[in-house]
């Protein structure tokens, strides 16, 4: 299949979180309640920013609307996003507030064991800040939201957007902010734990169908190593994982969300979109960073596969 985007038409705006990721990885087996020799790295992250980065890798023009503090980390995050080609002109810098950080520890295989997020600054993306931007936001081909946004802001965007809206549920604690507005979504990407929190259904298939019944156009439920479920209307599909060498699982779900948007803008059907999402996650797991430059090869890899 041909994978070509019209860069002037196929532009996306992502509204959500950006933070500095601080990753601790032990050199050996984790010893609880002790100092573990290993490595600590700092890289730009955040669900919204990661999705925006991945959309850039996939060839879209991207604008990121995320709150930044007027501090050293905020300046570093702004410069890193601009260096990727993102339009940051709509991203507010909040005086007197510190930028968001995300601290996580993995085991030696890259699987996350613990994370702490400090993302209070996301509350600054209020309806009052976002409403004046609506004429510009509605000029994009796609709007992508993450559940780091205040619920009132999600409500505003879902009521007033005139373009397709895609959403990532972020976490079991935050996904409920999206629940009243699922009927406004072209697609939602979640995982089994978050889908259960949204629906009260612990079975992923029942949860996926329940989210679809709330009115979402497409529903994608990641089950980790167990694959992905995709629902559109009465159609439910299963997409297995791609075997890969896992270095770091952080960012894999964000890459899947970006691939869902990318595939939909290409007009791909539900099955092909789920395939894109799983392959994007697999590619990301091969990298120590939350965004793997090899994601730019997604279209070629689909053709070869």
> pLDDT tens digits, residue range 21-40?
898 999 999 999 999 999 99
**What is the separation of C-alpha 283 from the centre of its chain, rounded to a whole number of angstroms?**
15
Least Cα distance to 80 among 91, 294, 284, 123 occurs for 91
pLDDT given for residue 290 in this prediction: 82
**DSSP letter assigned to residue 87:** B
Going by pLDDT thresholds of 50, 70 and 90, the confidence category of residue 9 is low
Least Cα distance to 43 among 96, 102, 91 occurs for 102
Q: How far is it, in rounded angstroms, from Cα 253 to Cα 278?
A: 9
**Mean of pLDDT over the chain:** 93
> pLDDT tens digits, residue range 134-144?
999 999 999 99
> pLDDT tens digits, residue range 72-92?
999 999 999 999 999 999 999
Domains detected in the chain: 11-304 (3.40.1190.20)
**With 70 as the cut, is the pLDDT of residue 1 above it?**
no
Q: In terms of pLDDT, which residue wins out, 108 or 58?
A: 58
Going by pLDDT thresholds of 50, 70 and 90, the confidence category of residue 150 is very high
CB 13 within 8 A of CB 63: yes
Least Cα distance to 195 among 178, 181, 211 occurs for 211
> pLDDT tens digits, residue range 200-240?
999 999 999 999 999 999 999 999 999 999 999 999 999 99
């Amino acid at each position: 299949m041909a994978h070509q985007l019209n860069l002037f038409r196929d532009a996306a705006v992502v509204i959500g979180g950006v933070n500095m990721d601080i990753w601790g990885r032990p050199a050996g087996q984790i010893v609880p309640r002790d100092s573990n020799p290993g490595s600590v790295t700092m890289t730009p992250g955040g669900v919204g920013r990661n999705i925006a980065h991945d959309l850039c890798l996939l060839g879209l023009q991207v604008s990121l609307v995320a709150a930044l503090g007027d501090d050293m980390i905020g300046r570093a995050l702004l410069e890193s996003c601009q260096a990727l080609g993102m339009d940051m002109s709509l991203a507010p810098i909040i005086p007197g507030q510190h930028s968001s950080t995300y601290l996580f520890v993995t085991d030696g295989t890259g699987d996350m064991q613990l994370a702490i997020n400090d993302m209070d600054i996301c509350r600054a993306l209020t309806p009052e800040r976002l409403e004046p931007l609506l004429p510009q936001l509605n000029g994009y081909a796609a709007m992508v939201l993450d559940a780091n946004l205040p619920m009132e802001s999600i409500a505003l965007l879902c009521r007033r957007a005139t373009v397709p809206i895609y959403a990532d549920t972020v976490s079991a604690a935050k996904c409920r902010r999206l629940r009243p507005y699922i009927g406004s979504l072209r697609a939602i990407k979640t995982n089994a734990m978050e889908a259960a929190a949204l629906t009260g259904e612990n079975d992923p298939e029942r949860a996926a169908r329940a989210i679809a019944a709330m009115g979402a156009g497409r529903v994608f439920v990641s089950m980790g190593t167990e694959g992905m479920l995709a629902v559109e209307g009465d159609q439910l599909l299963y997409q297995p994982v791609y075997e890969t060498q896992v270095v770091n699982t952080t960012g894999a779900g964000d890459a899947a969300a970006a691939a869902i948007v990318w595939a939909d803008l290409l007009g791909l059907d539900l099955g092909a979109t789920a395939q894109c999402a799983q392959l994007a996650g697999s590619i990301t797991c091969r990298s120590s960073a939350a965004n793997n430059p090899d994601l730019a090869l997604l279209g070629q890899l689909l053709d070869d596969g």
